[in-house]
Structure 1
Amino acid sequence: MPRIIYDSDSNEQPKSTTRRRRPLHDLLGGEKVADILLWRNKYLSAGVLAGATVIWFLFEVAEYHFLTLLCHISITTMLVVFIWSNVAALMDRYPPRIPKVILSEDAFRKFALSFHAKLTRGISVLHDIASGKDLKLFLLAIASLWVVSIVGSCCSSLSLLYLGLLCIHTLPALYERYEDEVNHLAVRGSHDLHTFYRKLDSTVLNRIPRGPIKKMR
């Protein structure tokens, strides 16, 4: 977002200094996750959103139980593998090699290393916030968690997770498409908040009587 510069006159319009910044795709990692969130691969992004919607519908709306769904998926998978294996033998084809595809050592190692790196980075960020190095960020995190706890008491955890996934899956793409308009509104909103605070400070806060400050000996 452009940096805002305010003058002493409250009626002055906000000014922004233009500076180069990294593209949103690079800020999101620049890999497949960024492609999915920014809808660079529309079929994959739509598939992820459709899968999350189906899961939310089954558990939240249809009240499907997890153990029942797991058993039904296992039964369906076993039937598909059974039919595929027998049909492949009759047609002189190779049977499916699912374990070698799913449990590939190289793919599993890459996934483990990537998960370990992201987990370590996340824990490091949480530790920096909790240690209070940035007091503003610490208070913002506390307030955000408090708001999330209130929202979580009003709806189920699954609906909250689905709503969060829906926002993560759509807002970055919308921001990339309407970046100039969003930045303009953000600059205007920040300027209005700054003006409101200065008026509140001059009309209310400065008029609050304060006792004399005793000098420390």
Structure 2
Amino acid sequence: MATYSSDSDNDFEPTSKLLGRQRPIHSVLGGGRVADILLWRDKRLSAAILIAVAVMWFLFEVVDYTFVTLLCHVSITTMLIVFIWSAGADMFGWTPPNIPKDILVDTSFVDVASIIHNKFNNFLSICHFVACGNDAKSFFLAIISLYILSVIGNYISTLNLLFFGLLCVETLPFFYERYEEEVDYVAYKIKRQMRKTYRKFNAEFLGKIPRGPAKEKKG
């Protein structure tokens, strides 16, 4: 009967960071404005973005708004407010509306685009490495995960999936930073159990697959 060893369970310390992370979570997220928003360092802006995403989901999913209709109605409402404000400024002595020409700074788009570009390139590199068969465990895990996502996708609309993804991006980094030690410990336990399961599967099934004799390398 095949046996397997669990000596290598100690290769991972309970204090190791999630996904082998060495840098602080703020640095992993790129630092700067984007990381501050995701980690709720600027609570007002983070809350405003989360509320805006929730309102957009409600309008599209519950009220059944289309994008063009919603954009037109928002534009009409904004123009009416500015018109009434401007007209009332002369009659009632209000401060006239002063809307800046540039709402967002150019560097904000550059920072976001740079982070997305780097993360996407790293993701493609990992996918290429796994798809080439360099890590059999990660390859089979990726296939199973993608299949599970494809099944879930049959029951969840694209809009709901997008909203759920944005909700996770907006909340999970914050909660992870707050409960970092607890999450790292749970991740360590899960990783250790997965290694045991894979080692047992390898010893009882994969190890029994007959292989041809190894060819000697020519000197």
> TM-score range with shorter-chain normalisation?
0.7 to 0.9
Instruction: Find the residue that maps to 1:184 and give its secondary structure.
Output: helix
Q: Percent identity?
A: 40
Between the aligned partners of 1:146 and 1:67, the Cα distance in structure 2 is 34
Q: Quick check: 198-207 or 24-33, which moved more?
A: 198-207
Query: What is the CA-CA distance between 1:162 and the residue it aligns to?
Result: 0.4
Between the aligned partners of 1:199 and 1:131, the Cα distance in structure 2 is 27
Between the aligned partners of 1:78 and 1:175, the Cα distance in structure 2 is 42
Query: What is the CA-CA distance between 1:55 and the residue it aligns to?
Result: 0.7
CA change 1:32–1:215 in 2 (3 A) is closer
Q: 1:197 maps to what in 2?
A: 198
Query: What is the CA-CA distance between 1:180 and the residue it aligns to?
Result: 1.2
Structure 2: gaps of 5 or more residues: none
Q: Quick check: 133-142 or 41-50, which moved more?
A: 133-142
CA change 1:90–1:142 in 2 (3 A) is farther
Q: Does residue 121 of structure 1 match 2:122?
A: no
Q: Normalization by structure 2: what TM-score?
A: 0.74
Structure 2 residue corresponding to 1:16, chosen from 13, 18, 39: 13
Q: Normalization by structure 1: what TM-score?
A: 0.74
Instruction: Identify the structure with bigger relative contact order (alpha carbons < 8 Å, sequence gap 6+).
Output: 2
Structure 1: gaps of 5 or more residues: 1-7
Q: Quick check: 40-49 or 112-121, which moved more?
A: 112-121
Between the aligned partners of 1:25 and 1:172, the Cα distance in structure 2 is 9
Match of 1:36, as an amino acid?
A: I
Instruction: Find the residue that maps to 2:173 and give its secondary structure.
Output: helix
Per-residue deviation, residues 79-124 of structure 1 (Å, max 9, x unmatched):
11111111222345553232xx1436xx553245335534543554
CA change 1:178–1:113 in 2 (3 A) is closer
